[in-house]
Structure 1
Amino acid sequence: MPGRTLGLSSSLRLGPVLCLALGGCMVGPDYDRPPAIVSLRFKELQPPPGWVRAAPQLPPRGDWWRIYNDPVLDALEAQVAISNQNVKVSEADYRQAQAIVDEARANLFPTVTGSPGVTRQSTGPSTVTNYSLQGSVSWTLDVWGQIRRQIESDVSSAQASAANLAYAQLSYQATLAEDYFDLRAEDSLQKLLDATVASYQESLRVTQNQYNAGLTAATPVALLQAATLLEQTRAEAISVGVLRAQYEHAIAVLVGRPPAEVSLAPAPLTNDIPAIPVSLPATLLQRNPDIASAERSMEAENALIGVQVAAFYPEISLSALYGWSGNPIGSLIQASNRVWSLGASASQILFEGGARTAAVRAAEAAYDAQVATYRQTVLTTLQTTEDDLAALRIYAQEAAAQARAVADARQAVTVSFNEYNAGTVDYTTVVTAEATALSDEQTLITIQQSRMLDTVSLIEQMGGGWDIRDLPSKGSLQTDNPLVPAFLEKK
């Protein structure tokens, strides 16, 4: 970035004078969050039936899944944060980031070492033993702020890691909810197919009785058609078990348990679509932990520019040594045996072939890349949110139309079967009507399933009740260093 290059040149000329005059400073650019590419409103925010804009509220403490009023889902979701192994990986990464902050802060303080020693020296016929006890202190002064810029970067990285932990937890909770609703959709499909198999068995029985009675409409072809439709539907009902088993296994792993230990009793997919609170797009910058992580990473990269700029200036160090050296050991600690020294040094690289300039340019490029990543993360989140809003609005209309189609198809089955019994149509008409009705009912389940999945996705984009204020503060990361972020603590 041209502006940063000019700033670097100016700071190199004035930096040493100002820093020494002020007793120390921090070279490099201070962080000023770049603006995100965000719209003023959501294009697709058109309330469908049952939707309100901001009246509903997610449950407190981020337990967003309670909005579905499903005790089984509640019990499963509560296990994700404490048992999901991928969440544990993110939690360990956060603790590692905290330790890195402590490690960087240690460089601000002097290093103290102790050196006791014993030497034996032969001088002709005698041997002299010499004892020593010395302590030394060395301290590299952070005159130009190189260490403090590194700490600033590490602290921001730790905050990004905490946001990643929150996002991992939210993401796996959302995945669990999606798998759960997929499983319930399979339960609804199973219930529908089992009921359809029972209905087709009755149709086959009636057709068989009519054939045995010699009625004209009950032909051998009609019997075969009825039997074929029954067996096809029975096979379809059996195949539902494959997907259901896979969803159940996935749920077990998400809660950190072996699949053999988790069994969920069948239950139909709910028909209730909860109202999701949706605010302005700009609030996503404060509510979505993925965006927060990208933003914190920007500040981390910005601080690293200062680390590289500081490398242009001299490194100033202080050192001191104090101790005793003598013989015998009983009289070691005496003034006559005392040794001490004080020193100060400054080192400056005079020529390195442009390596430091290249390091600054590399740090600036890394920062620019993170800015682009941040803005792309915001855009992607906005896109997914708009997709979810559009899908929920359109699916609501489709569900209403499909419900009417199901009602008409069921009526068509009744009419066609009555006409078949009256001998006015052949059994092919009945088969066609029944197949159409079954297909329409399956489509209605699929639409409801999609609507539930979109509500989960929308809640995930909105952060699930998370807020950027839940991140550990910069001060706490440099003092308290809690092992668990505040947003994971049970209150």
Structure 2
Amino acid sequence: MKRSMMKSVLTGSILLGALLVLAGCSLAPTYGVPSTPMPAAFKEATHETTHEATQTALPASEAGSWKTAQPSEAISRGEWWKVFGDAKLDALEQQALEANQNLKAAAARVKEARALNQAARAGLFPTLDAGFGPTRQKVSAASQFQPDGANIPQQTFWRAQASASYEVDLFGRVASTVDAAKADTQQSEALFRSVLLALQADVAQNYFALRELDAETDVFDHAVELREQALKLAQHRYAEGDVTELDVSRAKAELATARSDAMTVQRLRAASEHSLAVLLGRAPAEFSMAADPLQPVELRVPPGLPSSLLERRPDIAAAERAMAAANARIGVAKAAFFPSLTLTGTGGFESATLGDLFKWSSRAFLLGPLAGTALNVPIFDGGRRKGNLANARAVYEEDVADYRQQVLTAFREVEDSLSDLRILEAQTKQQNEAVNASQRAADLSRTQYTEGAINYLDVIEAQRTVLQAKRAAVQLQGVQAAATVNLIRALGGGWGDNVPEPTMPPLAQK
């Protein structure tokens, strides 16, 4: 008998020891960032340019050929908008950082993810509880081995106990859950930085759009002034009998049209100003910006290497962290196929009267679960675990595809911005030539009309051409400024460490 008991105890000890050795072994697949297409350089960056614009400095580490991408998404991007040297833009960016509601919501999502991560990490530690109070119970006669019909009196038990419970992480279920929650938190933080970058770029683009509309307003103001002078000239010549009333009517029509077009620009400016106010976290009625016509943006931003793009883009970092979380959840789904071991224990005092509760002789304990078993082995669940595992693997495959697509999208956005800037540079020069030529033609037509050499239709056509050319030139300046901001945004908000890190909202601090 003793030999049999010792053999059972030894077998149980060996089994328990083996289970404890397995504790913490994760079943999640070995994680690695999947490969993506990686060109040696951006296609548009190879085009030769002859501009005289200001070129920002490119770090030596990015001046050569391809290099292996190292995770550095969280490094300083700096207050990149300061490269424009515009104090008004600097102030607007700071206001948006402090008051934009979308940014505050993103910061709150970071706090949510960190709280869930903290809750998941609690699974690595035992839980401790304490309780105090009475229970009233009546047991059956059969449970006490008494004859049928025997009266077992009701009893009151007072208990003051502490209990502990701990799940031994045999196959890494808890560890994989923690890994997934940590990756979710990092994804949320990367998404916050993505929202921040989008906000900064939107503020800069709205600001430049507003100033471009101010420049258009100047163009129309000048055009209206010229139309007024042309009307006076037509009225004077009509009074002298040199022209008919037709020329006067045409001059009035051109003046009214120019004024109407100017009002269209004013309407667009008002809407743009309202949009900028909302980005700053302010009601449109509380915000206004003085007119400040846009000047040409001569900044040129070096794109660096395609591999470094993967290090800087927060949206790419978020997609990569989503993959890591999905990979860890495969381990959680696999662990469900294997036994789980939960260690429980309760100890304290128990007595029939409150006065005897804390006597040494009233002590009691219970090792193991009050109901069920400590070691649970799954046998049959109708395919639930198999379905959960298949779902976890499919989610991971989806996240891999999303990550690769995000990388391709990032490359496209950089190439688009580079091609925009390259072509806009040449287009701007051509448009400036068109402005000069049309202005010369308008001056000549006015002179010839005054001398009676041409009719008023020629003057009108020349003036329209000048207005269209000047407006197109101003709009190209706005497009060029927006394209510069788009390039910086596509590059992840910066290209070096030549400017300091912007102050983050308190909600985003670790």
- The TM-score range, normalised by the shorter chain, is 0.7 to 0.9
Distance in 2 of aligned mates of 1:366 and 1:241? 50
- Out of 473, 481, 492, which is 1:444 matched to? 473
Q: 3-state DSSP class of the match of 1:272? A: coil
1:33 matched residue in structure 2: 33
1:299-318 counterparts in 2 under 5 A? 299-318=324-343
Where does residue 461 of structure 2 map in the other structure?
Answer: 432
Q: How far apart in 1 are the matches of 2:117 and 2:36?
A: 28
* Partner Cα separation in structure 1 for residue 48 and residue 259 of structure 2: 40
CA contact (8 A) 2:107 2:507 kept: no
Alignment match of 1:236 (pick from 258, 261, 268): 261
Structure 1 match to 2:312: 287
TM-score after normalising by structure 1: 0.87
Q: Counterpart in 1 of 2:501?
A: none
Residue 253, structure 1, aligned to residue 278, structure 2? yes
Query: 1:3 corresponds to which residue?
Result: none
Distance in 1, matches of 2:221 and 2:200, equals: 31
Contact in 2 for aligned 1:50/1:275 (Cα 8 Å): no
Give the match's secondary structure for 1:115: strand
- Separation in 2, partners of 1:464, 1:361: 38
- Verify: 1:85 aligned to 2:109, yes or no: no
Is 2:341 aligned against 1:349? Answer: no
1:399 Cα deviation (Å)?
0.3
Structure 1 match to 2:397: 368
The offset of 1:135, in angstroms, is 1.5
Q: Provide structure 1 residue ranges, at least 5 long, that are not aligned to the other structure.
A: 1-15, 468-481, 487-491
Change (3 A) 1:55 1:127: closer
Q: Which residue number corresponds to residue 79 of structure 2? A: 63
Where do 1:187-336 residues align within 5 Å?
A: 187-215=214-242, 218-336=243-361
Q: Which residue in 2 is equivalent to 1:173?
A: 200
Between the aligned partners of 1:68 and 1:150, the Cα distance in structure 2 is 46
Secondary structure of 2:42's match? Answer: coil
Is contact 1:289–1:466 with CA below 8 Å preserved after alignment? Answer: no
Deviations 1:436-473 (A, max 9, x none): 11111111111111111111111101111389xxxxxx
Judged with a 3 Å threshold, the aligned counterparts in structure 2 of structure 1 residues 483 and 410 are, in CA distance, closer, same or farther, namely closer
Preserved contact between residue 138 and residue 319 of structure 1 (Cα < 8 Å): yes
d(CA) in 1 for partners of 2:367 and 2:458?
A: 105
CA RMSD of aligned residues (A): 2.4
Match of 2:508 in 1: 484
Q: 1:338 aligns with which of 352, 363, 376?
A: 363
Please name the residue that 1:415 is paired with.
Answer: 444
Q: Which amino acid aligns with 1:114?
A: A
Q: Deviations over 1:189-212 (max 9, x none)?
A: 111101111111111112211221
**2:310 touches 2:316 (CA, 8 Å); kept in 1?**
yes
TM-score, normalised to structure 2, is 0.84
Matches of 1:372 and 1:53, distance apart in 2: 36
CA distance in structure 1 between the aligned counterparts of 2:285 and 2:58, rounded to whole angstroms: 38
Paired with 2:134 and 2:18, the residues of 1 have a C-alpha distance of 48
Distance 1:54 1:194 in 2: 36
Distance 1:120 1:310 in 2: 41
Q: Which structure has the greater CA radius of gyration? A: 2
CA distance in 1, matches of 2:286, 2:58: 36
CA distance in 2, matches of 1:454, 1:251: 18
Counterpart for residue 470 of structure 1: none
> Are the equivalent residues in 2 in contact too, given 1:62–1:466 (CA < 8 A)?
no
Deviation of the 1:483 alpha carbon:
5.2
* Rounded Cα–Cα distance in structure 1 between residues aligned with 2:239 and 2:402: 74
How do residues 459-470 of structure 1 correspond to structure 2 at under 5 angstroms?
459-465=488-494
The 8 Å contact of residues 19 and 25 in structure 1, kept in 2 or not, is answered as no
- Structure 2 segments unaligned to the other structure (5+ residues): 1-15, 60-75, 140-150, 497-505
The answer as to whether partners of 2:77 and 2:493 remain within 8 angstroms in 1 is: no
Residues 127/374 of structure 1: CA separation in 2 closer, same or farther (3 Å cut): closer
